[in-house]
Amino acid sequence: MITEVLTANQLKKEAPVFGQLSFDNHEQVVFCQDKDTGLKAIIGVHNTILGPALGGTRMYDYKTEWDALNDVLRLSRGMTYKAAVTGLNLGGGKAVIMGDPKKIKTPELMKRFGEFVHTLGGKYYTAEDVGMETSDMDTVREVTPYVTGISESKGGAGNPSPVTAYGVYMGMKAATKFAYGNDALSGKRILVQGIGHVGEELVRLTSEEGANVVISDINEERLAEVSKKYGVDIYRGNDLYSETADIYAPCALGATVNNDTINRLKVKVIAGAANNQLADENIHGPLLQKKEIVYAPDFLINAGGIINVYAEIEGYGREQIIAKTENIYNTTLDILNRAKATSITTNAAAIGIAEDRIAARKKQQ
């Protein structure tokens, strides 16, 4: 009898989905490919106990298909917690399309992707995310009703980015109050990493309140544009994480709080728009707690976007969108206080609230 010992890489190939560290009892993972348009996409449906899964489509030039799979698994899980902790009757889902949006994105590719979304029969609603525009969602809407974030002229709630930024702003102010005793951002030094649609709006909101905003991005043209527009400084050093500041606001891709950066951070608050900011929540959450850095859970404070697009499903208006987004302030404070009172991380406190809500709904079914 020969006993075969598999290496880690072989195990990864043997169990490409269920064996992933990011797989967390996802209900469904759909791989989509179309040769004619060049579409390669993955849709992850994490949980639909509270309602249909809703989450944006991210288009990104991933280095490997494993990176794309890991991203969609982590992002869809985060959407479940985001909807649950915000009190929305939605589940968590996400989609990724592999490729550079500037090079391969076409109306034909977007329609083909929409057709794959349609095959799920409303179990998953898509929306705008990194690498996407409202016009792309309008294109998807031509082939399926299971899309949100379409243009206001077409009856949608429009671009969710400003509302997402407003929610991050509310969460940042709550975390600032927890850390400093008041929520004033005036005079605070804020490092904003990533100035896409959401990052730029956050720069506007914080700079208008009188914060000393410093921006960082890989796009030099965007840096110059945003710096001039809002009168903020551009970071020109080579180690952003070692900069002394009051608040670090990661607004690009995730995992910037990791083994390499966490010991260099010299801030009192982390509050940004990026998803999955903690490379490993079980390791880096406790490390932030030990360093007494107040971490506003990303899936909570960046929930303004899902609140905005959920309006298209539920049919509520702009006033309710803003009211629900402003409530992120209160929820953030509640979670930070709960974490302190129970000596757990803020991330664990937020996940606990979300899981309690899901469990309660499951008992009713």
Specify the DSSP element, H or E, that contains 307.
helix 304-314
Determine which one of 12, 13, 82, 94 is catalytic.
94
| Contact status, residue 204 vs residue 230, Cβ threshold 8 Å | yes
Which residues touch 100 (CB under 8 Å, ≥6 apart)? Answer: 61
Which residues are paired to 284 by β-bridges? none
Residue type, position 210, single letter: G
Which residues touch 4 (CB under 8 Å, ≥6 apart)? Answer: none
* Unique residue bearing structure tokens 């509050």: 271
Instruction: Give just the sign of the alpha carbon dihedral 35, 36, 38, 40.
Output: negative
Calculate the CA 306 to chain-centre distance.
Answer: 10
Where are the alpha helices (H) located in 218-317, listed in sequence order?
Answer: 220-230, 281-290, 298-301, 304-314
**45: three-class secondary structure by DSSP:** strand
94 is catalytic: yes
Which residues are paired to 248 by β-bridges? 191, 270
Burial of 347 (0-12, 13-18, 19+ CB in 10 A): buried
Burial of 310 (0-12, 13-18, 19+ CB in 10 A): buried
One DSSP character per residue, 164-191 reads HHHHHHHHHHHHHHHHHSS---TT-EEE
| Residue positions annotated with a catalytic role | 94
